[in-house]
Chains A and B, each alone.
Chain A
């Protein structure tokens, strides 16, 4: 079964750090581009970061640029999001999501994890 499972969420104080992980299974993780998408309480979806299959190209939304770092370990079938200098407005459910297979065309962001909740509060 194709699956993404996020972990690492929790309660953190403003200014603190947190590292999210996303474990992939059921597909060739190293072939796929990946995203982090978040959803603040009661709000819509916000794309925050993207990484190519090899990890050589990375993009961030302006809202997290300079504070968050996306990375991946293809040997461990894992995607990560290092979040520093956290703010109250970073409170959200964070989803990892599978994007394009680098060897094929675009077929949409077709696999999503269940999400992990990050709460930034004192």
Chain B
């Protein structure tokens, strides 16, 4: 089974400043079709999870361009260029190569 780890698990941020979350997979998420099946989701307080990024770097519909994803193979990063107060929540990476697995989550809150 594929295991995902995230760091940090807690991330206090200052509005206007950048933020970055890492996700590491126990095995490569590169499919033979050339796509890498790593997504990012956010769960804001009191809400259901929502899709931010799919296939490593593709922003979902309506996601602000301050969010970006990068990485390959087993190592991935979600970056927020300038954090806004509305970005607080728990951020999860998820692999979709073999069934589905979520990382443990990174709690982002305002300093």
Q: Contact: B54 with A112, CB < 8 Å?
A: no
Nearest to A97 among chain B residues (CB) is: B49
Binds A, one of B12-20, B72-80, B95-103: B95-103
Question: Bound complex: CA of A35 vs CA of B35, how far in Å?
Answer: 21
Question: Bound complex: CA of A109 vs CA of B61, how far in Å?
Answer: 12
Q: Contact: B48 with A110, CB < 8 Å?
A: no
Q: Contact: A44 with B99, CB < 8 Å?
A: no
Q: Contact: B99 with A45, CB < 8 Å?
A: no
Q: Contact: A114 with B102, CB < 8 Å?
A: no
Taking the complex as formed, is A108 at the interface, i.e. its CB lies under 8 A from any CB of chain B?
A: yes
Of B48, B58, B101, which one neighbours A113 at CB under 8 angstroms?
B48
B105 / chain A contacts, CB cutoff of 8 Å: 44-45
Interface residue tally for chain B (C-beta within 8 Å): 27
Q: Among A61, A95, A109, A110, which residue has the most Cβ atoms of chain B within 10 A?
A: A109
Of A47, A50, A106, A109, which one neighbours B55 at CB under 8 angstroms?
A106
Interface residue tally for chain A (C-beta within 8 Å): 23
A47 / chain B contacts, CB cutoff of 8 Å: 94, 99-102
Question: Bound complex: CA of A34 vs CA of B64, how far in Å?
Answer: 26
Which residues of chain A in 43-57 are interfacial with respect to chain B, using CB atoms and an 8 Å cutoff? 44-47, 50
- Given contacts A45-B105, A115-B48, whether A108 and B54 have CB atoms under 8 Å apart is yes
Question: Bound complex: CA of A47 vs CA of B1, how far in Å?
Answer: 13
Of B51, B58, B92, which one neighbours A45 at CB under 8 angstroms?
B92
Question: Bound complex: CA of A59 vs CA of B101, how far in Å?
Answer: 12
Q: Contact: B39 with A44, CB < 8 Å?
A: no
Taking the complex as formed, is B50 at the interface, i.e. its CB lies under 8 A from any CB of chain A?
A: yes
A105 / chain B contacts, CB cutoff of 8 Å: 35
6 extra interface residue pairs, beta carbon distance < 8 Å, beyond A45-B43, A99-B96, A109-B39: A37-B100, A44-B90, A44-B104, A62-B1, A106-B35, A110-B51
